[in-house]
Structure formats: C-alpha cells, structure tokens
Amino acid sequence: METKMIRLLSKDKQVRIFMIDNTSLVSNLIEQQQINKVCQETLAKTFTISNLLCGLLEGNQRLSIQMVCSNSSESIRCEVDSSGNVNGYCSKALLESKADTIAELIGGRGYIRITKGSETGSMYTGCVDMPYQNITGDFSNYFRKSEQLYTAFQCYYDCDKSQKVVRSRGFLIQLMPFAPEEHLTKWTGWIDEHKMMIEQLPLEQLIPKVFKVADIMAIQPIRLFCGCSREMFYGMINSLGEKELSDIISKKQTVEMNCGICGKSYSFPYNEVAGLIMGG
Ligand SMILES: [Zn+2]
C-alpha cells in the first residue's frame, strides 16, 4: 500500500498537524541493514520525523538530516525532498553499538544537524545539541532553537520479538507564526489522551474522531527512493590520485564507495577500476 502523509490545519488556523503511518517504509528500510533493537528504534524515529519534514518543504527543496551520537562515528543520516522521496541509514559504527537504550546510544554530547538545499542551491545548516536524548524531544528543541518554531513530534513505534516492525507512525504539531504557545501543549495533550486510537485506527478514520477541528490541506505520497547507480561513482574513481589508482591495480584491491543518500555500498574490483581509467 502506498504511504501517504496527511497534512492538516486546525480550523482556527493556529496549528498545522502532519501525520504519517510509514510502517511499510520502515520495515523495508530496516530489512536492508543488519541492525539491533535499539538502533532499529533510533533509526525508525529519526526517519519518521524526517518523513514528516517533507511536508515543510517547497519547490525543489531538500533536507539532509543528521543525528550524531556522543561517539561521533555513530550517526544516522536521512535525506528527504519536497516530492516525498525519503531515505535513511545508520553509520557502520552505529550498527555495532552495544547501547541498551536510546539515551545511552545518544549520550550527553549528541547533536542534530539539518542542511537545507534550496532551488538556488544555497545551503543553510542548523546544528543543535540533544539535551533530551530521546529524539522526539530533541527535534522539537532543534526547531525551537534553530528555526524559532514551536514544534512537537510524536512517534509510535513497535516491533515484535523477532524485531519485525509492527507499527511506525509519526505526528508533527507546529504552531503557525504568532499562535499562542499554549496551543502546542493543548494539542500534544489531546493526542496523548487519544493514544489508543492514534496507534490503532487507519489515519483517515482518525480525522473525524480525533482531529475534527482541523481541515485536510494536502495528502502527500512518501516513498523510499534513491536514484544512485554504479555509473555515478565512475567520476569519483577517475578523480582518485594517480598513486592511489596504481596501488589499487597493482595490489589487486577493491574500492568501496557508499552512496551519501541511501548508504548503499558499491564495490569496484581492481580490474573494473583499470578499465574505467582506460575508458575515461
Ligand atoms: Zn543511493
């Protein structure tokens, strides 16, 4: 079934509410990586929040979202664009982490960095620490500090004993400019009160039951997509130094390259590398 994000605006025009059930996307994403339970939940939540952020983009904007743990080689990277193409992956070091909880994994010196690419190609980067060590609170804190926007995130994630993803849902609640601050706590409280329905009901059924004081502004398809291919890396191989290239060929090494968007790794054995330099 296609994954869709539903974007609502409260009838008083004070609050935007986005919701997504991305259970199938998270299952597919997690199947692609060897991952323990804590990393799985950390990736699911970071990815779900990143999916919700698609709804805030315009034109052909894209966001690169990084969640970096205290041990800075442990990180999650998500890429999303305004058309609803999303991706996310854990760094190799994070996959090997032995942390027992998300808070332990993030540690005291974690941070979130978000880079926005706009139509003109200009980039803006915000970087904010993670005092809550629980992802949802930290992303709220990021928006407050970096964008001066009151935003709350709620994620509902569940997996069974064999780590199969049972449920992944996310909600974004954001105050419109000049809306009174108490609207945020009012809405998060309201969602908490209806937790049972929020977790179980199909999203469409939630609207008349839980969000009847809001109107649907848009329904946006969200899909796992990366346009990477082996060919994309040919230029990078050709741009390696002469010494490095001759070493690879003489020592019969294999070059490993990773896509920066989906994390997929591509390997190029020395004979392919040799063919590429001859050809290019
Ligand atoms: Zn890729």
Q: Could you report the predicted ipTM of this complex, rounded to two decimals?
A: 0.98
**Residue 239 DSSP SS3:** coil
Token digits for 133? Answer: 């060590």
CA of 68 to the centre of ligand 1 (A): 20
Three-class SS of 178-223? CCCCHHHHHHHHHHHHCHHHHHHCCHHHHHHHHCCCEEEEEEEEEE
> From ligand 1's centre to the CA of 29, what distance in Å?
12
pLDDT score, position 68: 98
Question: Ligand 1 centre and the CA of 64: distance in Å?
Answer: 13
Q: How many CA atoms lie within 13 A of 220 on its CB side?
A: 24
The pLDDT, as a whole number, for residue 33 is 77
Backbone angles phi, psi at 163, to 5 degrees: 65, 20
Cα(91) to centroid(ligand 1), Å: 14
Q: For the chain, 280 residues long, give each residue's pLDDT as a single digit of tens.
A: 799 999 999 999 999 999 999 999 999 999 877 789 999 999 999 999 999 999 999 988 999 999 999 999 999 999 999 999 999 999 999 999 999 999 999 999 999 999 999 777 778 789 999 999 999 999 999 999 998 999 999 999 999 998 899 999 999 999 999 999 999 999 999 999 999 999 999 999 999 999 999 999 999 999 999 889 999 999 889 888 889 999 999 999 999 999 988 888 899 999 999 988 876 5
Q: Provide the CA 170 distance to its chain's centre, in angstroms.
A: 12
Which pLDDT belongs to residue 279? Answer: 65
- Burial profile 145-171: b = 16 or more Cβ within 10 angstroms, e = fewer: ebeeebbbbbbbbebeeeeebeebbbb
Q: How far apart are CA 189 and CA 170, in angstroms?
A: 15
Span from the CA of 229 to the centroid of ligand 1 (angstroms): 7
Query: CA-to-CA distance for 232 and 237, rounded, in angstroms?
Result: 10
Ligand 1 centroid – CA 216 distance (Å): 33
Q: Ligand 1: distance of its center to the CA of 232 in Å? A: 10
Q: Which domains does the chain have, with CATH numbers?
A: 3-224 (3.55.30.10), 230-279 (3.90.1280.10)
Angle at the Cα of 146 from the Cα atoms of 145 and 149, rounded to 5 degrees: 75
Give residues with Cβ within 8 angstroms of 266, minimum separation 6. 230, 233, 256, 257, 258, 259
Question: What separation in Å is there between the alpha carbon of 33 and the centre of ligand 1?
Answer: 14
- Cα(154) to ligand 1 centroid in Å equals 28
Position 34 scores a pLDDT of: 78
Q: What is the Å distance from ligand 1's center to 226 Cα? A: 5
How far is the C-alpha of 175 from the C-alpha of 56, rounded, in Å? Answer: 13
Structure tokens at 141: 């804190």
How many Å lie between the centroid of ligand 1 and the Cα of residue 208? 39
What spacing in Å lies between the alpha carbon of 230 and ligand 1's midpoint? 10
